[in-house]
Amino acid sequence: MPLPACCGEPFGAGTKQCSTCGHQVTDAGLRTCIRFEARSDAMLAILRRAEAIAKACAPVVLLGETGTGKEVLARALHHAGPRAAHPFVPVNCGAIPSELLESELFGHVRGSFSGAVADKPGLFEAASGGTLLLDEVADLPAPLQVKLLRVLQNGEIRRVGSNRSLDVDVRVMAATHKDLGALVEAGLFRADLYYRIKVLSVRLPALRERAEDILPLARHFLDSEHSPPHRLAPASEEFLVRYRWPGNIRELSNAMRCASTLAEGPMIEPHHLPEEIVRATSTTRGGPFRTLAQVEQEHVLTVLRACRGVQADAARVLGIGRNTLWRKLRTYGRVPLRDGDLAIPAAPLLEHGGGEPSPREEPN
């Protein structure tokens, strides 16, 4: 079954199925169909690999910097696989206090601790038949790493305070921005758990490593905003492509939301972008992209100044004929009346009866 198509259509209020692609809502967090904008070779290769991974039920580890889309890919793998009709349940292991995480994952029975006034199933049971995503799995406390290993080995859990094991049928996916291999070597993550969950793995590239996808993603995020349609001005596109995106796709999404809010008209100009993007890009070497003609003009005038305005010397350094140099200078509006005069524009030259140098002045 291929990965979800790029429909991007939101589910209406109360609907359980997208009218475009047929994907079903299986949890409250899924508001739109999963959409991929992938034109870079790196991301296309990952999506081809992901199609095979989606068909399996083995554990998967998703690696990559913060904001690269690990949860989006996890949802896509779930909805493209045999468990699509069952729940997809994500949990951030670093966002829940360690003393509560065990109960959150495995559930508890009444009276097992202060405040446990009733039996409560955990997220493993809530994801029965489907997929449980352990986001930031590297932050899982050591005691829970042992219990997770038991789930993966035996397919059973035990609620907090209970002596009875329950069978669970759940595909486990794990995601992290940390280097799990290095954590294993440092003794901060169990080696046996690492090799148990790392049956299949996908490393998502940073946004700066897939520059071909930046503008398509930016346009997609603009289209997703509930505001009048906006387009990116060419200068804004240059800033977006040149920026390093330390926050990756999440930062790009927020930047387009900011620009869409600040834009007065249909065009997104550079001053509508977040300040840090414009400031960081403007201070990089060379500033915004320039055309080949702009680069050439700057170089020609630099050489002419270095030659003290002597056209014959400048033409020789540039490796072009003096006639060619004269025509370029005239195009720039900086044609000298005589050697050594750099700043006389073309119009006064014509008023003085100046003309193009004779062909015989062309150096051999």
CB-side neighbour CA atoms (13 Å) of 163: 0
pLDDT value at residue 360: 39
244 exposed, middle or buried (CB, 10 Å; 0-12, 13-18, 19+)? middle
d(CA 124, CA 222): 36
pLDDT value at residue 160: 92
Q: What is the pLDDT of residues 134-169, one digit of tens each?
A: 999 999 999 999 999 999 999 999 999 999 999 999
Q: What is the mean pLDDT of residues 300-323?
A: 87
Identify the H or E element spanning 62.
strand 60-63
Q: What is the pLDDT of residues 77-92, one digit of tens each?
A: 998 899 999 999 999 9
The CB density around residue 86, as the number of other CB atoms within 10 Å, is 18
Calculate the average pLDDT of the chain. Answer: 82
Adjacent-strand bridge partners of 295: none
Give all domains of the chain, ordered by start, each with its CATH number.
Answer: 56-72+82-201 (3.40.50.300), 210-282 (1.10.8.60), 292-361 (1.10.10)
Say whether pLDDT at 359 is over 80: no
pLDDT value at residue 334: 59
List strand residue ranges (DSSP E) for 168-250, in order. Answer: 171-176, 200-203, 231-232
d(CA 235, CA 268): 9
pLDDT value at residue 202: 96
| pLDDT greater at residue 72 or residue 18 | 72
Say whether pLDDT at 183 is over 60: yes
Residue of 202, 235, 176, 209 lying closest to 38 (CA atoms): 209
pLDDT band at 362 (very low <50, low <70, confident <90, very high): very low
Residue 83's contacts (CB-CB under 8 Å, 6 or more residues apart) are: 57, 129, 130, 131, 171
pLDDT value at residue 309: 84
* CA dihedral angle for residue 349, residue 355, residue 361, residue 364, rounded to 10 degrees: 90
pLDDT value at residue 35: 58
Say whether pLDDT at 347 is over 70: no
The CB density around residue 56, as the number of other CB atoms within 10 Å, is 14
pLDDT value at residue 364: 39
Q: What is the pLDDT of residues 102-131, one digit of tens each?
A: 999 999 999 888 888 899 999 999 999 999
pLDDT value at residue 335: 52
pLDDT value at residue 38: 83
